[in-house]
Every structure is written in structure tokens, then in C-alpha cells.
Chain A
Amino acid sequence: EVQLVESGGGLVQPGGSLRLSCAASGFTFSSYSMNWVRQAPGKGLEWVSYISSSSSTIYYADSVKGRFTISRDNAKNSLYLQMNSLRAEDTAVYYCARDFTYYYGSGFDPWGQGTLVTVSS
């Protein structure tokens, strides 16, 4: 079964840091590009970041550029999101999601169950 499981969410103070992880199973992780998508409570979806299968290409949304860093470890079948200088507006459920096909922009499937990040003092 193809599965993505996020972890690492929690409560953090403004200005703090947090590292999210996403464990992949059931498919050849090293062959697929991956993404992070977030959803603030009661709000819509927001794409956060993309990383290609070999980590050679990385993109960020303007809202997180310079503060968040996406990375992956293909040997460990894992995706990461290092979040620094966190703000209240970063509060959201963070999902990891695989590119559905082998090219960027084709859509996301599957998705993980999400991990909640709350930025508050």
C-alpha cells in the first residue's frame, strides 16, 4: 500500500523552529518528486514547497521563501521540512504529497494524513 506518514508537528513560539518529517512506503520513493502543502484551520489549501526526485530542483512559495527548507533522504525514504522564524500565520496542518506522475504540476497523490503546527505564545 502506498503510504505517507507525517510527524514532527506541535506547538512552537513565534520566531521558533520546527522540523517536519514524512515517511514514505509502498512505492519507489527515489523516483518521485514530493511536495509540502498546508491548510490553516478552516481555510483553503496552500502549496508550500517542491523537491525533485534527486533534490536537484527545489521551489518555494513566496510566503515561506528564506524561512523554510525542503530536503529528502532517498536512502531513508523520507521527506523533510525545516521551518525557521515561524509566524502565527504558519499555523496549519502540513501535508506531504507525492507528485502523481513523473512530472511537476501533474497533481498530488497520495497525500499523508497531515501534522498540525501551531505557532503561538
Chain B
Amino acid sequence: QSALTQPASVSGSPGQSITISCTGTSSDVGGYNYVSWYQQHPGKAPKLMIYDVSNRPSGVSNRFSGSKSGNTASLTISGLQAEDEADYYCSSYTSSSTLVFGTGTKVTVL
């Protein structure tokens, strides 16, 4: 199972909106509504930000939103803040009953 494809880096100024893409196939992202997104700060464990494509766990800011179109899922961060600077990973259930992560995206707040 190959990793899902994410851009290596995305940047934006405070207050702006950015979108991170996560591209897979019809055997993973496109075939199921089981896409999740994680935020990871250096030296820390990942934190769940979005589950089931577009749902936010309690306590996660509504500045984070998720969507999916075909084989590509997206995470949008609106009103970018300094604390959003981190690595972000998508994940999807697959037709092999396994789970696969994306390659990861480093978000930089300019």
C-alpha cells in the first residue's frame, strides 16, 4: 500500500486560509468516507483534527475543516495562526482492510 500523496509544504500569512490536499485512489480515499487528519508539532504525538472526512472532534477549532472530492481529500485551515505551524498528515481506510497515511505536509506561518 503506497502512502497517500500530500504536498511537502504549504505556507501562508496569519489570517489567511490554506488548503492541504491528500490524493489517493479509488481503493482508499475515493472508496470510503474514512479519511482523517492529524496535526503534529515537533517532538509531540499526533493530534486528531478531522475524522470521517469532515467531522471535528470536540475541542478542535472550527477553523479546521475537511472535505473530499473523488480520490482527493482536503484540509482547510482558515484564519491561519502561529500555533497552526506544524506537520499535517491525512489517513484513509483501504480496501485491504489496512490504514494508510499521507506523506505529510509542513505548514509554515509566514
- Which A residues fall within an 8 A CB radius of B? 35, 37, 44-47, 50, 59-62, 95, 100-101, 104-109, 111-114
Q: A44-B89, A100-B51, A111-B45 are in contact. Are A105 and B34 (CB under 8 A)?
A: yes
| Interface size class of chain B, counting residues whose CB lies under 8 Å from the partner chain | 20 to 34
- Decide if A44 touches B101 in the complex (CB within 8 Å): yes
Are B104 and A109 in touch, CB under 8 angstroms?
no
B103 interface residue per 8 A CB criterion: yes
B57 contacts across to A, CB distance below 8 A: 100, 109
| A44–B93 touching, CB < 8 Å | no
B residues sitting closer than 8 Å to A (CB atoms) are: 1, 3, 32, 34, 36, 38, 40, 45-48, 50-52, 57, 89, 91-93, 97-104
Q: A88 CA to B103 CA in the complex, in Å?
A: 21
**Complex alpha-carbon distance, A100 and B51, angstroms:** 8
Contact indicator B104/A106 (Cβ below 8 Å): no
In the bound complex, residues from chain A placing their C-beta under 8 Å from that of B89 are 44-45
Given the known A-B contacts A95-B45, A106-B52, are A45 and B34 also in contact in the complex, defined by CB atoms under 8 Å?
no
Q: What CA separation (Å) do A91 and B52 show in the bound complex?
A: 30
Contact A47 B98 (CB under 8 A): yes
Taking A35-B99, A45-B89 as known contacts, 15 extra A-B pairs with beta carbons closer than 8 A to each other, sorted by chain A number, are A45-B104, A50-B99, A61-B98, A62-B98, A95-B45, A104-B93, A105-B34, A105-B99, A106-B34, A107-B48, A108-B91, A109-B48, A109-B51, A111-B46, A112-B45
